[in-house]
Amino acid sequence: MDSREAEENVFVDSPDDDDNLTREFSFGATADRIKNISRQRANEVLRNSLKGLRTSPYYLWEGLKYAFSNLYIWQSLIIPLVTFAVVSLSVFLILLVFLYAPQVVFIDRWADSDEIVSEVYSLYLVLQETKFLVNIVFMVVLDVVRRSIYDQMFEKEGKDIKHYRKLSEVPTKDRLVIVMYSVLTTLILDVLTAPLLTVPVGGKVLIAAAKGWAVAWSKSNFSSFRPS
């Protein structure tokens, strides 16, 4: 091999080099595409959040006005609300009977300090346990009532809509997914908003506002990831 052939071989690109360049360009384009999608998604979430803050008072007023002007909504709410109240009270009494005394004994053994009033702590635990179970019951009842009201509303107001699939006919599996999503969201919000309880005035109001905004925001921005 002469010197000229050697120089040509030095500057000839191998197929592996072409594959590496193609792979690098492809990876770079994919990364840029992901960044653009993420940026667009973030902007969309921000726009939806700001829009929700601006329009929520209007929709709240319209919803209340429609509810008070249509008797069937209240008829759909009476029985579930009474059932929910009875179930909640029953859960509290059952936990009070079966868990209060064992928890008092456990707290006495766990904490030897006389400053800790085991009866008070046990009652507090019973209340928190009741709240946890009642939240689950509330989500189930709310899901059933919401679907029933939606179906009645479409029957009365959307008579021109054809091929409407009743929400009450959604498979049980999908409904359980939605309920568990709501329960998980509630538990996370309970933990995140707990520090607001230390606010002397308006702590509960701030918690309610934060929870309401967070739930509405999650439903408007991530509804595509959950079954409808």
Tell me the pLDDT tens digit for each residue of 179-221: 787 778 778 887 888 788 777 777 778 887 787 777 766 666 5
Which phi and psi (to 5°) does residue 13 adopt? Answer: -75, 140
Question: For the chain, how long is the longest CA-to-CA vector?
Answer: 99
Determine the pLDDT at residue 120. 85
Confidence of residue 96 (pLDDT cuts 50, 70, 90): very high
- Tokens 């946890």 -> residue: 132
Locate the domains of the chain by residue range.
Answer: 1-69, 71-169, 180-228
Are the CB atoms for 150 and 167 separated by under 8 Å?
yes
Query: How far is CA 91 from each of CA 52, 87, 95, 105, rounded to the nearest angstrom?
Result: 36, 6, 6, 21
Residue 43 CA to chain centroid, in angstroms?
Answer: 21
pLDDT of residue 186: 77
Query: pLDDT, tens digit, for every residue of 36-48?
Result: 777 777 777 677 7
Contact 217, 185 (CB under 8 A): no
The pTM is what? Answer: 0.55
SS3 content of the chain, % helix, strand, coil (to 5): 85, 0, 15
**Is pLDDT at 178 greater than 60 in this prediction?**
yes
Q: Where are the strands (E) in 139-191, listed by range?
A: none
Range of weakest confidence among 23-32, 119-128, 145-154, 166-175:
23-32
